[in-house]
Amino acid sequence: MITIQNEYLTAEIDEKGAQLSRLGTKNAEYIYDDLSVWNKHAPVLFPFAGRLKDQKFIYHGQEYGPVKIHGFAPYADYEVTDRTASAVGMRMIVTSEIKAIWPFEFTFSVRFVLREQTLCVTYEVENNGDETMYYGLGSHPGFNVPLRDGLRFEDYYVEFPEAGALAVNNMSDSCLMLGTQSPCPAVVGNRVPLRHDLFDRDALIFSNMGKTAVIATEKDRRRVIVTFPDTAYCALWHKVKMQVPFLCIEPWTSLPGDEGKITDLETKPDYNALRPGGYREHHLNITVLE
């Protein structure tokens, strides 16, 4: 476990999965940590966000798999590449098991930097091969809700301050995409008032939500602001059909696989396409205000 800190924040990052496991101030802890309820804290999602039909994908006509939910990044080991008191960089260790199910030469790194009251996360993707690499990427931090003792989950809302007409991307019962969108009845303007039964069918995956999500309440000024300048979707989730005191804000660059067909990397329109020799960064910022 790697610890970084500054005047305002302390963060702990696990080399297994390059996973943020703690983010706290002198006054509060913000990342959910009851592993008996959810065995993650803030997994990194790569090269897929969500599930694939039959845990498989196709590239150049060949099937690859099995691939677990959210790809192999959450389960991989990472090595520290550089470190200061308030920052750390980590690079995925690409094993033979990963190479067996992923037909590209690549480097995947994650950098965590504390800047005042913000944790800045940068995902770095390099295509080291001679063919275009297609991939999805996402973040999955789980935040304590309520953020203060004495308040309830239902006292809070998620606000998308830059949102247009919020739409939910519809999923099947197996959490694969149906290719349609619908309004979310729970939405009030650009806010989603929280209640546990919102997640009885798994995640709500929003489009048109802008690049910012805020967990807040009218009853307290403590809040979490998540910004995601490089993603097209944002899911809200907690454990299905449970009344648990946390909420995941999940910015994704792509959607899960489609219902009824094996995902073809070259034809799925929302995957990132990285040219041979190319390099791309994706960013996530988490700000806590007290």
* Phi, psi of 98, deg, nearest 5: -65, -45
Q: How many domains does the chain have?
A: 1
Which of 282, 174, 288, 128 lies closest to 220 in space, CA to CA? 288
Handedness of CA 6, 12, 14, 17 (dihedral sign): negative
Contact criterion met (CB below 8 Å) for 176 and 257 = yes
Structural domain of 53: 2-289
Contact criterion met (CB below 8 Å) for 281 and 253 = no
Task: Kindly report the CATH number assigned to the domain that includes residue 263.
Answer: 2.70.98.10
pLDDT on residue 134:
98
What's the pLDDT band for 254 if we cut at 50, 70, 90?
very high
Q: How confident is the model over 44-75, as pLDDT tens digits?
A: 999 999 999 999 999 999 999 999 999 999 99
**DSSP run (H or E) holding 168:** strand 167-171
Q: Tokens standing for 113?
A: 């930097």
- Distance between CA atoms of residues 80 and 132, nearest Å: 27
What's the pLDDT band for 129 if we cut at 50, 70, 90?
very high
* Phi, psi of 5, deg, nearest 5: -160, 160
Q: Are strands 57-59 and 263-264 parallel, antiparallel or unpaired?
A: parallel
283 forms beta bridges with 122
Handedness of CA 227, 23, 72, 55 (dihedral sign): negative
How far is residue 11 CA from its own chain's centroid? 17
Mean pLDDT across the stretch 15-19? Answer: 98
Which of 225, 171, 167, 179 lies closest to 199 in space, CA to CA? 171
Q: How confident is the model over 200-218, as pLDDT tens digits?
A: 999 999 999 999 999 999 9
Mean pLDDT across the stretch 22-49? Answer: 97
